[in-house]
Amino acid sequence: KYGTTLDPFHVPEIDLKFDKKIALTWWHGQLNLTEGQVKGLSHLARSGDCDIGTDKGKFIAHIQLGDSNVNVHFHGVMKLNIFHATVNFDASVGNLDIKATAGLDDKGKLMLNEFNVDELKNVKIHISGLSILTPLVNAIANGFVTIFNPQARSLIGNALKGIIEKEIQNIKIPPNAIYEY
């Protein structure tokens, strides 16, 4: 209604690089993720306490949203030293819970103050295109999300926060829209 599309949500291209010396060998890695899509966000619903108020004269809203059956897809090119691969990354999230705080800045522009992934459960990751390494990489990725869930929530939350901060700038709320409710 106010200028943004959530389903499917198109994720901007992501480029990750690293250069690290491990033991006596330098490791150079690069991952370029394109065609990123998140499907299922149109089912976001309130999953906990929400409140609206003011802080130092500014409008602030605290909200807790949840969703189930969210699917993520990326196409990517991965390079690690001399190894190169074209991969597809697919993930399904059974339970996702987000806590966010948004408000209006001094110019009346919507801004995101806080964004945390509070719950991340029933995650299944499938990476294809790595030949005989595919089963190993899938096991490592799924194990990481299960065993290191707080770190996975933080990584995903930080990545999503940056994307949502950019996307929230496209939302245009007419001044009289607040009075409609």
What domains appear along the chain, each with residue ranges and CATH number? 9-180 (3.15.10)
Token couple for 59: 């409008």
Which is more confidently placed, 77 or 42?
A: 77
The first and second tokens of residue 14, run together, are 């992501």
- Predicted model pTM: 0.68
Average pLDDT over residues 42-49: 80
Residue 118 CA to residue 87 CA, distance in Å, equals 29
Q: Which of 46-55, 149-158, 170-179 is predicted least confidently?
A: 170-179
Please report which confidence band the pLDDT of residue 1 belongs to, taking 50, 70 and 90 as the band edges. very low
- The reply to whether omega before 8 is within 30° of 0 (cis) is yes
CA distance 93 to 68: 7
Q: Give residue-wise pLDDT tens across range 53-73.
A: 777 766 777 787 788 878 889
Q: For residues 97 and 118, is the Cβ–Cβ distance under 8 A?
A: yes
Residues 6+ apart with CB under 8 A from 8: 37, 38, 39
